[in-house]
Structure 1
Amino acid sequence: MKSVVKLICSLLVAGSTSIGVASAQDTFEGPIKARKAVMALYAWNLGQLAAMAKGEMNYNPEAAATAAENIRVLASMNNGAAWPQGSDSTALPGATRAKLEAWTTYPESAEINKSLADAAAKMAAVAADGLDGVQANIGAIGGACSACHKKFRESQ
């Protein structure tokens, strides 16, 4: 009888633990989806500017201006709701690549985002004026993205 009671208690504890994990993943599903969508939009727009800067795509002032403005808007958005505490890769392995350090060293990630916002604003101001402006400013945007990813994102 004791063995049966122990088994039932063990199953209840195991079941409640897995329910807790599922609930945590469900709780953070929306924010994680939102920040992945923002990252995809960054990649899409930055990809167009980078292709122009490298000569892989013809320079188009309207397309460059649009992509640069999109990056500027994304970098200036308040995305705090997409980054709730506990939505990191340590707490939710496989659900996100965001490292816990994004929260534990928070002012640093905010500073990197500020450098991205500044670089994006500079790019948006010159992207329509010619390829030289795109080429001169693409590195600062890529550098800010890279700095954040190296420090705060798990590798694939």
Structure 2
Amino acid sequence: MTSLPRLPFAIGLSIAIVATAGLAATANEKAVAARHAQMQMISYNTGLLGDIAKGDAEFDAAIVASAAANLNALAKLDGTSLWIAGTEQGAIEGSRAKAEIWTDASGFAGKFAALEKASADMMGAADLDAVKAGMGAIGGACKACHDTFRGPKN
């Protein structure tokens, strides 16, 4: 398998966010578009790990390490410019963010901290069993956040 050149993660994420956010008209709409990009990157990397855990993709230590490191970086991303009060569901089209994100900011931060820890633990996964075990914590972190802080589809 030929390895593709990699952009530093922060540059790649910045390109994705700018490209997505540039389509929005207002600052709040841009923030929502940017955090959607963050969530898409979380979903993509979680999906890579999930496919390996389910046996839909072969174990590849490099992919596991990369996806876990990306999840970890995304969980650490400073959300100050993304999670802006006034961008909750109903205020901005396409937002599913519940108002609880701002009324329980420490709880919301704790959900990202759980993903940060789970992804850090996954970075050392040496085999398929470790990936399977680590997916419980990653999936649990995502579910806990969505159950508490994400509204229903519009």
Band the TM-score falls in, shorter-chain normalisation: 0.7 to 0.9
Distance 2:80 2:122 in 1: 24
- Provide the residue aligned with 2:136 in structure 1: 139
Aligned length: 129
Give the deviation of 1:26 after TM superposition: 1.6
Spell out structure 1 runs of 4+ moving beyond 6 A.
none
Match of 1:154 among 147, 151, 154: 151
Structure of larger gyration radius:
1
Equivalent pair of 1:75/1:113 in contact (CA under 8 Å): yes
- The separation in 2 between residues aligned to 1:74 and 1:53, in whole angstroms, is 21
Contact preservation (8 Å) 1:90, 1:99: no
Aligned-pair CA distance for 1:78: 1.1
Amino acid at match of 1:31: A
- Counterpart residue number, 1:43: 43
Aligned pairs for 1:63-82 (under 5 A) are 63-82=63-82
Query: Aligned equivalents of 1:153 and 1:64: distance in 2?
Result: 27
Q: Which has the higher helix share?
A: 1
For residue 135 of structure 2, give the secondary structure of its aligned residue in structure 1: helix
- Aligned sequence identity (%): 37
Letter in 2 for 1:108: G
Partner-residue secondary structure (3-state), 1:50: helix
In the alignment, the residues of structure 1 paired with residue 79 and residue 148 of structure 2 have an alpha-carbon distance, to the nearest angstrom, of 19
Displacement, 1:60?
1.0
Instruction: Compute the TM-score of the two structures, normalised by the length of structure 1.
Output: 0.78
Q: Which amino acid aligns with 1:45?
A: N
